Amino acid sequence: MAAPHPDQRTPHAGPGVRLDTQVIVVGAGPVGLLLAGELALRGIRVTLIERRHGPATASRASTLHARTMEVLDSRGLLADLGRPPCEPRGHFGGIPLDLTLPGPYPGQWKVAQTKTEAVLEEWALGLGADLRCGHTLHAVADRTTHVEAAATSRHGTPLTLRADYLVACDGQDSTVRALTRADFPGTSAERELLRADVEGLDIPNRRFERLPGGFAVAARNLAGITRVMVHAFGTAPREHAGEPHYDEVAAAWKQVTGEDITGGTPLWVNRFDDENRILARYRHGRILFAGDAAHRQMPIGGQALNLGLQDAYNLGWKLAATLERTAPAGLLDSYHTERTAVGAAVLGNIAAQALLLLGGPEIEPLRTVLTELIAHDSVRTHLAAMISGLDIRYDVGGPQHPLRGMRLPHTVLRTGAARCTTADLLRSGRGLLLALDGPPPRLHPAYADRIDTLTAQAEPGNPLQAGTVLVRPDGYVAWAGAEDGAGLAEAVQRWFGSP
């Protein structure tokens, strides 16, 4: 753990509202809300600080991938999303890619970001999380034994907070990252895209079309709103340009496609680029980072949102165990170890896709070769698992086993006359010891409130059929073996602490 930067600003303890909590979450977007819910599920007092005055109105991220759908299922939240459309076909750098893989939620699910946020907010607040909208953060300080933060409401009222930990979930332009001067290495932007949701357009759909002058996407949803994205080859990012005017989007669209979209009504407009950075450390003492506050990437194929949500899912139970004083040594630091490895891999594939999408004519031979390779199922499944988040394998220690470090496969189970799924068994937010061919090995009674134990039988045709598995609260298998339980005690103590 690093000490706070010497120039880190000290919160001003002037008149106003003072608040003590256990965790401050800065940013109430999807990542912050999921983290707050994970903490509140475990009884942790959490306060969210959000600059916006109310819910988001722009749905810039609208794709949930297979692993994220599994995460939401494990918390019982899928029903609240309704029946979102699923598209089995995705892309890798604009090259069509079938995302179908074994599991309950193959493909990409189209859920407006506003809907995702609304579902997560209702869940988190229902569990007791405290949300303070309309507050701008302006100072944070790590005091070694606690963290302090200061914000100001939209009415000018100071808010001073004290907590055990603070987690920055405040996006790619993170205020916390700036205040702490966290090391954020990577590559600067070379190309940018313009993007808008527009009403009143009647133009052909374009799916990742590379035209002589640039790249264009047009996709009309069931509400009649068309999302357009455009890049003119050779266009460099405008430094400190802010959000574009719709006229700029329309001009670029005309240049690349020849179509006139000036008659449309923009709902929102923005620009994004291929800057690619990841924090050197996700943990700075009592200040941690998740989502786009920890990594900046081009939002290709919805991976940015999904990466951030899975950051929160990995961090929540570890931070809660740390506050409950049941965490083994190093558990909270494993958040950095595990998620920086995943983040670096995702940013690597995004950088490759950005080149395939936005590179000039010189990239065409590479696109041709990759198109041919994707026709081979081994290549397709490798890339589909990468995009969907189903290829993640954490180093959980212990002897090798096909399941160790992987997510628990979705399995339909029977416990007596009852029928359930493995996702149902994770909804408590605790660990799980699941035995499929006999009673589970006995654990010390002290683990009763940390690990649920169950004997069940898998229905035929499911991926789990025999053996015993120890599953972390985030759904990843920490140990798998036979009924003799060899190595189980060590795995339990590594992930759930001493009795």
The better pLDDT of the pair 7, 366 is held by 366
User: Average pLDDT for residues 331-349, to the nearest whole number?
Assistant: 98
Look up residue 211 and give its two tokens: 């035209």
Instruction: Tell me what pLDDT residue 1 has.
Output: 38
Between 107-111, 173-177, 299-303, 488-492, the lowest mean confidence (pLDDT) is in 299-303
Q: In the predicted model, what is the mean pLDDT of residues 189-204?
A: 93
Residue 4 has pLDDT above 90, yes or no: no
Q: What is the mean pLDDT of the chain?
A: 93
Contact 78, 34 (CB under 8 A): no
Bigger pLDDT: 59 vs 351? 351
Q: What pLDDT is recorded for position 5?
A: 37
Residue with tokens 């035209």: 211
Write 400-404 long-range contacts (CB < 8 A, 24+): 401/480, 401/481, 402/480, 403/469, 403/477, 403/480, 404/477, 404/478, 404/479, 404/480
- pLDDT-wise least confident of 88-92, 236-240, 270-274: 236-240
Using 50, 70 and 90 to split pLDDT, how confident is the model at 330?
Answer: very high
Evaluate if residue 6 carries a pLDDT over 70: no
Number of Cβ within 10 Å of residue 185's Cβ equals 8
385-389, 402-406, 462-466, 482-486, range with the lowest pLDDT: 482-486
pTM (2 decimals)?
Answer: 0.92
pLDDT given at position 12: 46
Q: Which amino acid is at 136?
A: T
Confidence of residue 486 (pLDDT cuts 50, 70, 90): confident
- pLDDT-derived band at 202, boundaries 50, 70, 90: very high
Nearest to 108 by CA among 388, 431, 394: 388
The answer, yes or no, to whether residue 482 has pLDDT greater than 80, is no
Which pLDDT belongs to residue 57? 66
pLDDT band for position 420 (50/70/90)?
A: very high
Tokens of 423: 């996702």
Q: What are phi and psi of 253, to 5 degrees?
A: -65, -45
* Residue range 241-260: mean pLDDT, rounded: 93
Considering only residues 463 and 447, tell me which one the structure prediction assigns the higher pLDDT: 447
Q: Would you state the structure tokens that stand for residue 216, as one six-digit string?
A: 């264009």
Q: Taking residues 327-344, what's their average pLDDT? A: 98
* 161 pLDDT tier (thresholds 50, 70, 90): very high
Average pLDDT, stretch 376-392? 98
Mean pLDDT, residues 134-142 taken together? 97
How far is 118 from 82, CA to CA, in rounded Å?
Answer: 12
Q: What is the pLDDT of residues 37-48, one digit of tens each?
A: 999 999 999 999
Q: Give 144-158 pLDDT, tens digit per residue.
A: 999 999 999 999 999
- Dig out the tokens for 398 from the structure: 């212990």
Residues of the chain with pLDDT > 70: what percent? 95
Alpha carbon separation from 79 to 66, 83, 116, 264 (Å, rounded): 16, 8, 12, 34
Residue, of 124 and 192, whose pLDDT is higher? 124
Average pLDDT over residues 121-135: 97
| Confidence category of residue 235, pLDDT binned at 50, 70, 90 | confident
Report whether 288 contacts 166 (CB < 8 A): yes
Residue 411: phi and psi, rounded to 5, are -140, 140
Non-local CB neighbours of 138 within 8 Å, separated by 6+ positions: 9, 150, 151, 152, 175
Which one is predicted more confidently, 8 or 462? 462
